[in-house]
């Protein structure tokens, strides 16, 4: 297969995972602020649909792990989710932190001058196209003009396809645990410009293959400086970290 003609977007080497998840409750505005205070220029975070079709910044399918609520996000209204405490589980200092609506997250990114890798989550799988379409609409309507275009990522093919159909101007990355032999076929079919994989599943040979074929390459979740340095030596262009300060330290 031939090398890609279009280049992947420029993204910093160190990206904060769910904001700065080692320092503040993940996927909250406090976590974005913590990342910015650490000197991070881009953050990664998750987006999924509520039961009434709103977009919220949230990782899990269910509410229990990171809020004082319970049940499935996909079966809960935005109003009910916004009443939940999404910070106390992490520490008393964050009590009262809320689950952000996607629009709140975009406004905060603009205020903090943060770029973003936006991961699409979908539950149940039948909502993948709906999720992609909703994110495409929101980005076209509300993405801050002062920020570089975000990179949209997902494990979910139908969500990536839908966001690409609705907003093709925003670059996309295919998320995988491990790079399988048909990774390029999958990426090409979805119009992706980059591959994002789990750091402990990557080899130098696979890294070189991805880069030689013109794709961007990033790894998650990398919290040790020594490991990050190894990945960078292999040519990995960026790592997503709960503790980005460890990797940014001089």
Q: Within its chain, how far is the Cα of 146 from the centroid?
A: 20
Q: Which of 15, 16, 17, 122 is catalytic?
A: 17
**What integer is the mean pLDDT of 206-221?**
98
Which one is the CATH code of 14-248: 2.60.120.260, 3.40.50.300, 3.20.20.190, 3.30.70.270? 3.20.20.190
Q: Domain ranges in the chain?
A: 14-248
Q: pLDDT for 116-167, tens place per residue?
A: 999 999 999 999 999 999 999 999 999 999 999 999 999 999 999 999 999 9
Candidates 9, 13, 51, 59; catalytic one: 59
At 158-202, the pLDDT tens digits run: 999 999 999 999 999 999 999 999 999 999 999 999 999 999 999
- For residue 23, indicate whether it is catalytic: no
- Average pLDDT estimate for 56-74: 98
Of residues 63, 105, 103, the one with CA closest to residue 85: 63
Report residue 111: phi and psi, to 5°: -65, -35
Is 17 considered catalytic here?
yes
pTM to 2 decimals? 0.96
Please give the full DSSP string across 9-78, using - where no structure is assigned. PP--SEEEETTTTTTS-TTSHHHHHHHHHTT-SEEEEEEEE-TTS-EEE--SSBSTTTSS--SBGGGS-H
């Amino acid at each position: 297969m031939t090398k890609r003609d279009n280049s992947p977007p420029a993204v910093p080497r160190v990206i904060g995972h769910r904001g700065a998840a080692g320092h503040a409750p993940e996927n909250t505005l406090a976590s974005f602020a913590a990342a910015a205070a650490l000197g991070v220029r881009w953050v990664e975070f998750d987006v999924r649909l509520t039961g009434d079709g709103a977009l919220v910044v949230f990782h899990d399918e269910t509410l229990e792990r990171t809020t004082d609520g319970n049940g499935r996000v996909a079966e809960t209204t935005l109003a009910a989710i916004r009443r939940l405490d999404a910070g106390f589980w992490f520490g008393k200092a964050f009590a009262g932190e809320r689950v952000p609506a996607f629009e709140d997250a975009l406004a905060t990114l603009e205020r903090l001058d943060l770029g973003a890798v936006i991961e699409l989550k979908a539950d149940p799988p039948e909502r993948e196209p709906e999720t992609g379409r909703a994110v495409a609409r929101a980005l076209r309507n509300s993405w801050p003009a002062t920020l570089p275009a975000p990179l949209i990522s997902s494990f979910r093919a139908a969500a990536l396809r839908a966001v690409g159909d609705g907003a093709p101007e925003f670059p996309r990355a295919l998320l995988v645990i491990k790079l399988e032999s048909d990774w390029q076929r999958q990426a090409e079919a979805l119009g992706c410009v980059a591959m994002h994989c789990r750091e402990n599943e990557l080899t130098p040979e696979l890294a070189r293959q991805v880069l030689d074929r013109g794709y961007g390459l990033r790894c998650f979740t990398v919290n040790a400086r020594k490991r990050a340095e190894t990945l960078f030596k292999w040519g990995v262009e960026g790592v997503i970290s709960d503790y980005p300060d460890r990797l940014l330290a001089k």
